[in-house]
């Protein structure tokens, strides 16, 4: 069990988390976004209950906006191009394992062109943080330079809104 505050995992806990990060990196290799390749797995009781990579809606080329420069004067709440890996994983988990989402852990990683995992910066995607919190995911995990950090999802959401 994790703590009530963000915590860098140690020893066995970190080893286990890295195994899930490796699974998320495998999923990220299937990403179709032109700007970044991201993968997410959601884990409950030692099993993956949902997974996702970032891509245009329906994985269809006609829905791609990765390289569109959009400035149309409308209010804009989300400036990203594709379905986020986290959204896809949450939707997948809700479809396949709706009763298991509550209390689960979400592992997120970005990979480079060669499929190697990249270290994450601070939490910033408030769409993902709100959605993860709203569906009852207990912990959001990122792999930082300092190690794998496990954030209680409510704290993750607050930190995502926090100024730099």
Residues of the shown chain interacting with Zn ion in the complex, contacts defined by CB under 5 A: 33, 35, 66, 81-82, 84, 125, 128
Q: Shortest Cβ distance from residue 54 to Zn ion (Å)?
A: 6
Residue closer to Zn ion (CB basis): 45 or 69: 69
Q: Which of 8, 6, 28 is nearest to 118 (CA)?
A: 28
Q: Given the complex with Zn ion, which of 17 and 85 has the nearer CB atom?
A: 85
Cβ proximity of 156 and 121 under 8 Å: no
Measured from the CB atom, the residue of 128 and 148 that comes closer to Zn ion is 128
Q: How far is the CB of 3 from Zn ion (least distance, A)?
A: 24
Instruction: Measure the CA–CA gap between 20 and 38, rounded to whole angstroms.
Output: 14
Query: Please, are residues 142 and 105 in contact by the beta-carbon 8 Å criterion?
Result: no
């Amino acid at each position: 069990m994790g703590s009530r505050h963000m915590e860098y995992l140690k020893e066995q806990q970190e080893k286990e988390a890295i195994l899930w990060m490796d699974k998320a990196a495998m999923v990220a290799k299937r990403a179709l976004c032109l700007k970044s390749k991201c993968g997410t797995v959601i884990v409950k009781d030692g099993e993956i209950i949902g997974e996702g990579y970032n891509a245009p809606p329906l994985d269809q080329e006609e829905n791609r906006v990765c390289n569109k420069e959009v400035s149309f004067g409308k209010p804009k709440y989300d400036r990203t191009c594709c379905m986020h890996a986290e959204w896809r994983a949450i939707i997948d988990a809700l479809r396949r394992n709706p009763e298991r989402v509550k209390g689960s852990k979400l592992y997120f990683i970005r990979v480079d062109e060669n499929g190697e995992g990249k270290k994450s910066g601070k939490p910033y995607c408030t769409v993902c943080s709100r959605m993860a919190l709203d569906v009852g995911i207990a912990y959001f995990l990122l792999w930082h330079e300092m190690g794998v950090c496990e954030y209680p999802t409510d704290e993750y959401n607050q930190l995502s809104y926090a100024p730099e």
